Structure 1
Amino acid sequence: MRTVIILIAIISSFSYLNAQEPDKTALILIDIQDFYFEGGAVELVNAQVAGEQAQMLLQLFRDMGLLVVHVKHKASKGSDINKVVWPLENEKVIEKTEVNAFIGTDLKEYLDAHQIEHIVMAGMQTHMCLEAGVRAAADFGYKVSVVEDACATRDLSYNGVVIPAEQVHFSTLSTLRSYAHIMKQEVFREKFLN
């Protein structure tokens, strides 16, 4: 029974992506900033790999002429967007001070002005700003997809228990399935282009 439910979810994800109008789709890259990469103040596990996956996703959207939004958390040291996904002049950059990119910014107004209905999200950290953005976008009524291998997080600890980054990442994605279609970039790319 569980296999059947998973298969139905996968099939509906594919049909959902195929039904999207590309010009109503935007890519939002969340907090892919220097402080999360090697040598930064808050190094994430596999930040470089996730950044490179995000770069490929970004290039796909650029090649298709689709809307791209970069979100960055306003901070002092190391807050630049990482060179792996450095914004072009015509790409919107939103600075936020909250975990949720929609709070205190013009993100929703910008998306609505471009008649966006489907948001593709990737970024850092999976369990914080990415998760908050995904939940908010879904609550606003957008269809949301998350490219899981273009996201990264870190080990967490609570009450003396260390939770490895991989478990943090996958448990977050597991809960986000109620809000978004979750898939690897290769699968997303194949379905989005067909």
Structure 2
Amino acid sequence: MENTPTELELSVRKYNADPELNIRIVPETTAFLLVDCDKSSADNQIVENQIHSALKIARESGMKIVYLFNAIHGVGGSNDVTTKIHGLDYLKNSWKPLIPKFNQLIQPLENEAVIPKSHKDGFNGTVLDYYLKTWNIDTIIAAGFSIKSCLFHTCIGARHNNYRVVMLRDCTNSSEFPDTVDTENPEGGWLRFVFLRIYETDIGYTSTSTDLMKASLN
């Protein structure tokens, strides 16, 4: 594409940093990572609005697109702790891979990687790190589900594998419990507030799909 930018100046948020902070994003060395955005895990309203628009920008700018999905409910046998903790003991053959189904608006293209995972951290036991390194990726922009589970843990995995990681905070759900919702809290609830504070202090940057769109237009 003739108008594809060679780099983007993305507005980001980091705890105790300049409120006007921008970072340079080079699409050629950046991956747009969709974590558990298939129909079995995703909030469809967020998919059809924020994630869809962010994915469109990532594709048009030339970022590498990668999908992660939960391939199994556990890792196998009857004593699998993941299966037990989610109350899925009744399942048989929990090791059996599932075929993910996506909303048409974010359907993976033929040349985009779709990687199965069996842990909350998408780097744990998968080819994700190897795949990204073969494309010389050093930055990840992450979206998906959920902020207190797989998206959060995968972002920690990215940090531990030495990637600069940006979470799109409007491209995930709030995951609030009934007793953590607080309309006076700037994030709408204490769970989201705390997870974002931990993230923006120790893991990486956050931004939004709107900021990504603005960066693509500059």
TM-score of the two chains, using structure 1 as the length reference: 0.78
Question: What secondary structure does 1:34 align onto?
Answer: coil
**Which residue in 1 is equivalent to 2:4?**
none
Aligned mate of 2:180, from 138, 163, 167: 163
**Which residue in 2 is equivalent to 1:21?**
26
Offset at residue 191 of structure 1 (A): 3.1
Offset at residue 172 of structure 1 (A): 1.4
Aligned mate of 1:9, from 14, 18, 23: 18
Letter in 2 for 1:49: Q
Letter in 2 for 1:175: I
Determine which structure has the larger helix proportion and give its number.
1
Give yes or no for the alignment of 1:176 onto 2:199.
yes
8 Å CA contact 2:61, 2:216 repeated in 1: no
Write the distance in 2 (CA, Å) between the matches of 1:146 and 1:62.
Answer: 17
TM-score of the two chains, using structure 2 as the length reference: 0.70
Letter in 1 for 2:45: V
Relative to structure 1, is the Cα distance of residues 35 and 57 closer, same or farther in structure 2, using a 3 angstrom cutoff? same
Write the distance in 1 (CA, Å) between the matches of 2:64 and 2:148.
Answer: 25
Question: Alpha-carbon deviations, 1:14-66, whole Å to 9, x = none?
Answer: 1x2xx3322111100000121235xxxxxxxxx23321211111111111232
Between 26-35 and 58-67, the greater mean CA deviation after superposition: 58-67
Relative to structure 1, is the Cα distance of residues 6 and 111 closer, same or farther in structure 2, using a 3 angstrom cutoff? closer
8 Å CA contact 2:57, 2:216 repeated in 1: no
Offset at residue 153 of structure 1 (A): 4.5
Write the distance in 2 (CA, Å) between the matches of 1:192 and 1:142.
Answer: 22
Considering only CA atoms, is the larger Rg found in Structure 1 or Structure 2?
2
8 Å CA contact 2:71, 2:99 repeated in 1: no
Write the distance in 2 (CA, Å) between the matches of 1:164 and 1:182.
Answer: 21
Letter in 1 for 2:46: A
**Which residue in 1 is equivalent to 2:78?**
none
**Which residue in 1 is equivalent to 2:52?**
55
Question: What secondary structure does 1:54 align onto?
Answer: helix
Relative to structure 1, is the Cα distance of residues 8 and 103 closer, same or farther in structure 2, using a 3 angstrom cutoff? closer
Write the distance in 1 (CA, Å) between the matches of 2:115 and 2:133.
Answer: 15
Between 147-156 and 22-31, the greater mean CA deviation after superposition: 147-156
Supply the RMSD in Å over aligned alpha carbons.
2.5
Q: Structure 2: give runs of 5+ residues left out of the alignment.
A: 1-13, 73-96, 183-187
Question: What secondary structure does 2:62 align onto?
Answer: coil
Relative to structure 1, is the Cα distance of residues 153 and 82 closer, same or farther in structure 2, using a 3 angstrom cutoff? farther
Offset at residue 77 of structure 1 (A): 7.5
Write the distance in 1 (CA, Å) between the matches of 2:193 and 2:51.
Answer: 18
Question: Alpha-carbon deviations, 1:106-159, whole Å to 9, x = none?
Answer: 0000100000011000000111000001111112111111111111143447xx
Offset at residue 163 of structure 1 (A): 3.1
Q: Structure 1: give runs of 5+ residues left out of the alignment.
A: 38-46
Question: What secondary structure does 1:56 align onto?
Answer: helix
8 Å CA contact 1:124, 1:153 repeated in 2: no
Give the 5 Å matches for 1:56-95.
Answer: 56-75=53-72, 79-95=100-116
Offset at residue 79 of structure 1 (A): 4.6
